[in-house]
Amino acid sequence: MAVEMSTGLIALASGIAIGASAIAAALAEKEIGVAAIGAMAEKEELFGKGLILTVIPETIVIFGLVVAILILNLASG
């Protein structure tokens, strides 16, 4: 299956878009997760807030995915 160079580059670009944003989200979530666990050790009622705060950076991946899809659409359309 021969694929044109330009298609390959588009695929690569969309891969980078989601991969890099996933790494960024992971780093951010790591920091928040550590702090949330620390706070929970002091006060258990903070579980709910901690959980929500921990998933907040997940938006970064969502944006990455949106961009990746836009790039892929560029290829097909």
Partner 1 sequence: MLTPHKMDSVVITGPNSVMEHVIKALHNMKVLHIVEHSDKELADIGSPLKSANKLSEILVNVRALIAALGIKKEDKTFKLKKGLLEIESTTKKLSEEVRMSQEELKKTEELIARNHSVGEELDTLKNINLPLEVFSSYKSLTCFAGYVRDENTAASIKVELSLITSRFMMFQSPIKKGHFIALFIDSKSKDSANHVLSKGGFSPVNFMNISNLKGSASGNMEKIEKEIAKLQSKSEEITRRMHIIANDFGGFLIMAEEFLSEQLEKAEAPLKFASTKSSFLIKGWVPSDELTESIEKLSKAAKNRIFVNFEPAKKHDKVPVKLKNPTPVRQFEFFLDLYSYPSYMELDPTLFIFLTFPIFFGIMLGDVGYGIVTLLLFWILKRKMPKASNFFNILMLASVSSIIFGLIFGEFFGFEFMHPIVERSAENKMFMPLAIAIGIVHVNIGLIVGFINEMKSHGFKHAFFAKASWFVLEIGAVLAALSIFKIISLHWSTGVAVILLSLIMLFIGEGIKGPIESLSIFTNILSYARLMAIGLSSVILAVIINESAGKMMHTGGVFIVLGIVILVLGHIINIMLGLLGSFLHSLRLHYVEFFSKFFHGGADKYRPFGVRQ
Nearest CB to partner 1, comparing residues 38 and 47: 47
Choice between 5 and 42, CB closer to partner 1: 42
C-alpha neighbours within 13 Å on the C-beta side of residue 33? 9
Binding site for partner 1 (CB under 8 A): 47-49, 51-52, 55-56, 58-59, 61-63, 65-66, 69, 73
Least distance in angstroms from the C-beta of 29 to partner 1: 12
Rounded Cα distance, 31 and 13, in Å: 28
